[in-house]
Amino acid sequence: MTRATRSTLAALAVLALAAAPAGAQTGNQSDITGPVITGSGPAGGSFLGAGLRSENELFGRAADAVVFRNARIGCAVRGAEAAYRDSVAREPQTPAQRRVLDLLAVNADRPAADPVAAAVAAALAHGADPGSPLGMAARRLADALDGLMRDRGGCAQARQEYTEAPQWREAIDAFQHYVHDAPDSAFSPPAPELLAIHAALQRVVEEALRRRGR
């Protein structure tokens, strides 16, 4: 037990002795004359709105806009993207991976985006009508991935300068939405493109979170 711990315990003991029971008082003199704890106010949170607040590891909000939680996160994401582009440049790619990496603008010789996005969306839709929930979820995901990992240069000073943050948030949300809400038929088995998307997003996000701590 350290000296500081012993001192703290001694102080608490003195405090307990000082709080010995006393006779009751007349109204308005004791129960509401200190910090009033008839609600969650003492637990804080008012500066961010009501009740408990949560914070995402990557994202935050600046006014009404989605931004990275801080500039360091934005820099880590760009660094992770660059590392990923370099790593896959020499890796063998299946046709599905190529389509996805073309859509993400990871591949250097990226063709026109529209046909690639249409091809990826069609693969994710598993033949469903474009207006169906699965078709729309597939299209949303394909659109969110368009150019997501293109080379945007180095790091910026302020988190608002990382304008790709909303697209990253949308890409992750669209992917999660697809995985959680697509019918079982979309996983019997899933489109190879979906696995390629998962691998790309997961790898960059993990690497970004790892770099954040550097």
**What residues between 86 and 115 interact with another protein by CB under 8 A?**
88-99, 102, 107-112, 114-115
Q: How many CB atoms lie within 10 A of CB 28?
A: 8
Interaction between residue 194 and another protein (CB under 8 A)? yes
Which CA distances in Å does 102 have to 43, 94, 212?
A: 49, 12, 27
Interaction between residue 133 and another protein (CB under 8 A)? no
Closest to another protein by CB, 111 or 133: 111
Q: How far, in Å, CA of 51 to CA of 175, rounded?
A: 29
CB of 3 to another protein, least distance (A): 21
Interaction between residue 125 and another protein (CB under 8 A)? yes
Among 5, 157, 180, 214, binds another protein (CB under 8 A): 180
Interaction between residue 4 and another protein (CB under 8 A)? no
Enumerate residues 155-174 that contact another protein by CB under 8 A.
Answer: 159-160, 172
Closest to another protein by CB, 5 or 188: 188
Among 25, 87, 132, 163, binds another protein (CB under 8 A): 25
Among 42, 153, 154, 213, binds another protein (CB under 8 A): 42
CB-CB contact of 211 with 70 (8 Å)? no
Q: How far, in Å, CA of 155 to CA of 73, rounded?
A: 10
Q: Which burial class, exposed, middle or buried, applies to 58 when counting CB atoms under 10 A from its CB (0-12, 13-18, 19+)?
A: buried
Q: Which of 95, 113, 97 is nearest to 105 (CA)?
A: 113
Alpha helices in 126-164 (DSSP H): 133-145
Choose the stretch contacting another protein; rule: CB under 8 A; options: 3-11, 19-27, 139-147, 148-156: 19-27
